[in-house]
Amino acid sequence: MNPTRIWFSIAIVGVSSVVAMGQARPLPGADLQQIYERLLPQIEKIAAFDHHAHPGFAYDPDVDAMAAPPGSVPFRERDTNPELIAAAKALFGYPYDDLSPEHAKWLTQKKAELRKQYSGTAYFDMILDKLNLERSVANRAMMADYLDAKRFPWVFFADAFMWPFDNRQQRSRNPDEEVYIPLQEKMLHRWMQQEKVSKLPADLSSYLSFVSRTLEDNQKKGGIAMKFEVAYFRTTRFSDPSRQQAEAIYKKYVAGGVPSPEEYRTFQDYVFRFLITEGGRLLLPVHIHSAVGIGDYFSLTESGIMNLENILRDPRYKATTFVMIHGGYPFEREAIWLASVKNVYMESSYQEIAMYPSEFSHCLKQWLETFPDKITFGTDSFPYNEVLGAEESYWLGVQSARTALAAALAEMVSMGEVSEARALAMAKAYLHDTATSIYEGNTH
């Protein structure tokens, strides 16, 4: 008998209601719809913590540290999705059924009026209130003065430290990297300005102290975690080079010259491991983009979540809390098993947008049935364009997640897997408590 079986037997003996429910059934009963109708309003009442979003206005380049290249957009994410009209109706009383240019003008004017009425940080606070979001992570290049830091905790980007050299070869890999890599250079430059570092430090030790100072200062400015979107820029397979190797490469290229792809990767592997170790020292959780990405050149093979298994299961990083942003989608069924590691959490944003609630509820159910105490909710809200903003994006994420969650839990209740009370406790953990517990006490 394995330890899980022993624990399960004790649970059955100890909790009589579990015994009364008996063996779980493979099909839901006729009560499924009623259970769903009972659960949904209670789930809507849970003030949620959105663990991943890019709040801001479409004109603001700091909503992310990178830009979207032109590429194929999956069906539901296109701005022609009629659900976005439903979002505008629900949030702003939009009176039309299409987004023709003259009708769209109504919406932009309505938002402009509301921004006057709710000036400063009040506008986005009002949006959160409407959606019953207690707080929403702002994963942004820099914070905006129109976002209330109490409601929008900042998660800053840490990728740029891995691209300090001449990036000619890195950029030329494909048209997307031509867009991404210069933005990483810009981000590194901004961190250097912030730390009053005018040029790259002479040796690796001083470079790494500049990196640490930036992390510490960002944490002092309110940063609650560091984020990697490294999957967009290179493979997520990280080797384990020695400090001497990294030192030699730094010395060779600090003053110029184009590193070979192998040299650059070796250096980056070292810096990435340094950064996540710092995340443990500073109690600064590490968020990692772990799903398929936008653009037509994103490599699912090179950047799939399972490539990170050697990092996540490495006891040297057990002091670091990892949050796998987007939960490895479309490999979320494998990814959930990485949450068996004590310091690894899953975050489900983007899945609730890429899939419709009917399909997302199946993924969520599998997660709830595996490690319900390690999964967290997020919207990945992002301003679509001048007309459809982060507001509509929040609405779609929140509505999709709450309805899919109610559907997944209703099935679990109807099939005799959990009681209704247990289902609601799971909902609260997923929508709020598990994520907030990660950050409680993480202040120095």
Give the nearer residue to Zn ion in terms of CB position, either 164 or 378: 378
| Least Å from the CB of residue 7 to Zn ion | 36
> What is the CB-side half-sphere exposure of residue 219 using CA atoms within 13 A?
20
Quick note: the x/- pattern for Zn ion over 377-416, rule CB under 5 A, is ---x------------------------------------
Contacts of 321 (CB under 8 A, 6+ apart): 279, 285, 286, 343, 345, 438
Write out the DSSP string of 374-403.
Answer: GEE--------SSSS-HHHHHHHHHHHHHH
The C-alpha atoms of residue 384 and residue 392 are separated, in whole angstroms, by: 9
Give the nearer residue to Zn ion in terms of CB position, either 278 or 380: 380
H or E element at residue 366 = helix 357-368
Give the nearer residue to Zn ion in terms of CB position, either 136 or 167: 136
Give the nearer residue to Zn ion in terms of CB position, either 380 or 392: 380
Cβ atoms within 10 Å of 212's Cβ, excluding its own: 15
| Least Å from the CB of residue 425 to Zn ion | 28
End-to-end CA distance of the chain: 44
> Which residue's CB comes closest to Zn ion?
380
Task: Identify residues 322-381 at the interface with Zn ion (CB under 5 A).
Answer: 380
Task: Identify residues 49-78 at the interface with Zn ion (CB under 5 A).
Answer: none
Give the nearer residue to Zn ion in terms of CB position, either 231 or 249: 231
- Phi, psi at 356, each rounded to 5°: -80, 160
Q: Which amino acid is at 75?
A: F
| Least Å from the CB of residue 350 to Zn ion | 7
| Least Å from the CB of residue 54 to Zn ion | 6
| Least Å from the CB of residue 90 to Zn ion | 23
Give the nearer residue to Zn ion in terms of CB position, either 227 or 432: 227
| Least Å from the CB of residue 287 to Zn ion | 9
Give the nearer residue to Zn ion in terms of CB position, either 332 or 380: 380
CB 71 within 8 A of CB 296: yes
Closest to 77 in 3D by CA, of 400, 327, 335: 400
* Residue 57 burial by Cβ neighbours in a 10 Å radius (0-12, 13-18, 19+): middle
Contacts of 226 (CB under 8 A, 6+ apart): 155, 156, 157, 158, 215, 218, 275, 279, 284, 285, 286, 287
What is the three-state SS of 252-284? HHCCCCCCCHHHHHHHHHHHHHHHHHHHHHCCC
Q: E strands, 9-132, where? A: 48-50
| Least Å from the CB of residue 161 to Zn ion | 19
Give the nearer residue to Zn ion in terms of CB position, either 191 or 329: 329
| Least Å from the CB of residue 338 to Zn ion | 19
Residue 289 pairs with which residues in a beta bridge?
Answer: 325
Give the nearer residue to Zn ion in terms of CB position, either 35 or 183: 183
> What is the CB-side half-sphere exposure of residue 312 using CA atoms within 13 A?
26
The C-alpha atoms of residue 138 and residue 66 are separated, in whole angstroms, by: 14
| Least Å from the CB of residue 382 to Zn ion | 7
- Could you identify the residue written with the tokens 């701005």? 79
Give the nearer residue to Zn ion in terms of CB position, either 269 or 380: 380
Task: Identify residues 95-134 at the interface with Zn ion (CB under 5 A).
Answer: none
| Least Å from the CB of residue 378 to Zn ion | 8
- Total interface residues for Zn ion by CB under 5 A: 1
Residues that bind Zn ion (CB under 5 A): 380
